[in-house]
């Protein structure tokens, strides 16, 4: 089985994972051309930079928006004062950009309140901001002048410095992000995955802020960075076509990180929310190693988080961050074939998701149409069961079995093509035999044989569609059993 294994011993960020996957891709020029063409209207340039960490060579994907690259800002222990005040200093080496803690924040707009936040980076001589600042050490006023599409406002803070900002902020809503995604010139499967990842990010942020998806807004620069990272990862995975994606437990780092909302603990709240159900750990490395964008990509695409299984590895990729640590700051990916298991133990076990709803007001034709669409969209199986519902109404239980990563996409189909107002989710652990297809000869032509083994058993079966086609080609004058009897094994 073609398997991709992601090693997150130093966490994961979207650009780092994209760099690692890029090293595995045999269509590098096409990938860069397609990405740059797609995001050119946003002023984005995606380029490849060689990088070395602890003697290991790898790839750093530089995502520049109008020539500038976003960065995260860790809070180092020596900058935490006894009174709790924190001074934020950028590390000497520019850190890798963070696309989760910066790009998404909530805005509350009403007649009396307009909330906004900014990110600051400090060094010894200059207080750097994404906008121009002037400083007066003796002033006690901190003034921000913002020009918005619909609102012009001023913030005054009691502080020890004087800042004047004259800049324009554009904020993108979740709905607008989805519109941007669906206009990108990529296959539908790629865009569906990107939309699902963004929904995960938006849901995590809205839960942290006790808000809703409609109230969550994304800072334009940060959101475009993140959109490039997520799209790049989804596009590369579509080109690599792994049958299964596995991942190690995730190292999240330690300490604090400075972002649009202020100084937050590591992992940042949105990251922690996204990591629910995913094994992660923290050690003595100070800094944010796992960003919300990286966590969301893993949550959507990874089938299982576990130690690396036996694999026949053919390709290895290294995606580099820009922070320097005692350990190599990289995401490493392995591509290869899973080693076949013995026939006395399960060669592969996984989990599947069941999505179901009760229906009592749809025609048989409409239910059949919904069933076909779910199967075409990648469901592993779809079935209906007759049930008796409230008010003595006969109804249908519609159930879809799918991979967990397809939850959002298939849920959307339930709501779009059935009359249900809600669906139920249930996870099932699944044991299955390892299967492969062999082509065998027969007196009537080649026939595919599915062979399966595991748990001490072996099975094989001729593909029904092949038998059916042969019978049809002989005007149905040859039975299926007659065709099976001529198969040469």
What 3-state class would DSSP assign to 131?
coil
Closest CA to 269 of 447, 476, 100: 100
φ and ψ of 391, to 5 deg: 60, 25
pLDDT of residue 489: 75
- What is the rounded CA–CA span in Å between residue 5 and residue 15? 17
pLDDT of residue 432: 84
φ and ψ of 377, to 5 deg: -80, 0
Residue 249 CA, distance from chain mean position: 16
Assess if CATH 3.40.50.300 describes domain 350-430.
no
pLDDT of residue 342: 38
- What would the two tokens of residue 68 be? 């500038």
- What would the two tokens of residue 376 be? 């075409």
Domain ranges of the chain: 2-70+171-338, 350-430, 434-486
**Strands across the sheet with 381-389, in order?**
381-389, 393-402, 348-359, 424-432
pLDDT of residue 73: 53
Which pairs count as long-range contacts for 311-316, CB under 8 Å and 24+ apart, including other chains? 311/3, 311/5, 311/336, 311/337, 311/338, 311/339, 312/336, 312/337, 312/338, 312/339, 315/23, 315/24, 316/23, 316/24
Residue-level pLDDT, tens digit, the chain, 489 residues:
899 999 999 999 999 999 999 999 999 999 999 999 999 999 999 999 999 999 999 999 999 998 887 655 555 444 444 444 444 333 333 334 444 444 444 443 343 333 333 333 344 343 333 333 434 433 333 333 333 333 334 333 344 333 433 334 456 788 889 999 999 999 999 999 999 999 999 899 889 888 888 887 765 345 788 899 999 999 999 999 999 999 999 999 999 887 766 788 989 899 999 999 999 999 889 989 999 999 999 999 999 999 998 899 999 999 999 889 999 999 999 999 886 543 434 445 678 999 999 999 999 999 999 999 999 999 999 999 999 998 889 999 999 999 988 999 999 999 999 999 999 999 998 888 888 999 999 999 999 999 998 888 899 999 999 999 999 999 999 999 999 999 987
pLDDT of residue 218: 65
What 3-state class would DSSP assign to 145?
strand
- What is the rounded CA–CA span in Å between residue 243 and residue 337? 10
- What is the rounded CA–CA span in Å between residue 115 and residue 220? 17
- Cis status of the peptide bond prior to 267, with omega within 30 of 0: yes
pLDDT of residue 205: 87
Instruction: Indicate if the alpha-carbon torsion angle 403, 404, 405, 409 is positive or negative.
Output: positive
State the DSSP string of 32-94: HHHHHHHHGGGTEEEEEEEEEETTEEEEEEEEEETTB----EEE-GGGB-TTS-B--B--SSP
């Amino acid at each position: 089985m073609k398997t991709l294994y992601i090693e997150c011993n130093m966490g994961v960020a979207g650009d780092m994972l994209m760099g690692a996957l890029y090293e595995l891709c045999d269509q590098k020029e096409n990938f860069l051309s397609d990405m740059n063409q797609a995001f050119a209207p946003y002023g984005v340039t995606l380029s490849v930079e060689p990088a070395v960490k602890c003697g290991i060579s790898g790839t750093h994907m530089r995502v520049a928006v109008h020539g500038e690259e976003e960065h995260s800002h860790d809070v180092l222990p020596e900058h935490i004062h006894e009174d709790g005040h924190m001074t934020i200093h950028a590390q000497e080496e520019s850190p890798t950009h963070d696309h989760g803690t910066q790009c998404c924040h909530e805005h509350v707009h009403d007649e009396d309140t307009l909330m906004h936040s900014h990110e600051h980076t400090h060094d010894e001589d200059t207080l750097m901001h994404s906008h121009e600042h002037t400083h007066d050490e003796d002033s006690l006023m901190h003034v921000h002048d913002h020009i918005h599409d619909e609102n012009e406002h001023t913030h005054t803070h009691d502080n020890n410095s004087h800042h004047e900002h004259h800049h324009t902020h554009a904020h993108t809503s979740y709905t607008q992000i989805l519109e941007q995604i669906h206009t990108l010139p990529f296959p539908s499967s790629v865009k569906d995955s990107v939309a699902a990842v963004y929904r995960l990010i938006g849901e995590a942020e809205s839960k942290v802020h006790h808000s809703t998806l409609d109230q969550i807004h994304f800072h334009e620069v940060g959101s475009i960075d993140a959109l490039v990272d997520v799209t790049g990862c989804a596009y590369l995975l579509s080109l690599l076509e792994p049958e299964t994606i596995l991942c190690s437990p995730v190292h999240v780092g330690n300490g604090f990180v400075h972002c649009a909302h202020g100084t937050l603990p590591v992992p940042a709240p949105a990251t922690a929310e996204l990591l629910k159900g995913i094994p992660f750990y923290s050690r003595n490395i100070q800094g944010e190693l796992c960003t919300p964008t990286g966590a969301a990509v893993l949550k959507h695409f990874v089938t299982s988080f576990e130690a690396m299984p036996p694999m026949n590895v053919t390709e290895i990729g290294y995606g580099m961050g820009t922070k320097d640590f005692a350990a190599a700051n990289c995401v490493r990916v392995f591509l290869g074939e899973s080693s076949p298991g013995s026939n006395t133990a399960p060669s592969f076990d996984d989990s599947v998701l069941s999505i179901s709803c009760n229906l009592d007001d749809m025609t048989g034709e409409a239910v059949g149409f919904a069933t076909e669409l779910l199967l075409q969209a990648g469901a592993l199986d779809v079935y209906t069961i007759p049930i008796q519902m409230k008010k003595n109404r006969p109804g249908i239980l519609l159930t879809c079995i799918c991979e967990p990563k397809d939850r959002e996409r298939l849920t959307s189909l339930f709501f779009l093509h059935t009359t249900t107002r809600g669906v139920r989710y249930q996870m099932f652990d699944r044991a299955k035999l390892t299967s492969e297809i062999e082509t065998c000869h027969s007196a009537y032509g080649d026939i595919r044989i599915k062979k399966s083994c595991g748990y001490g058993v072996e099975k094989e079966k001729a593909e029904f569609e092949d038998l059916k086609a042969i019978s049809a080609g002989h005007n149905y004058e040859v039975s299926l059993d007659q065709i099976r009897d001529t198969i040469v094994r």
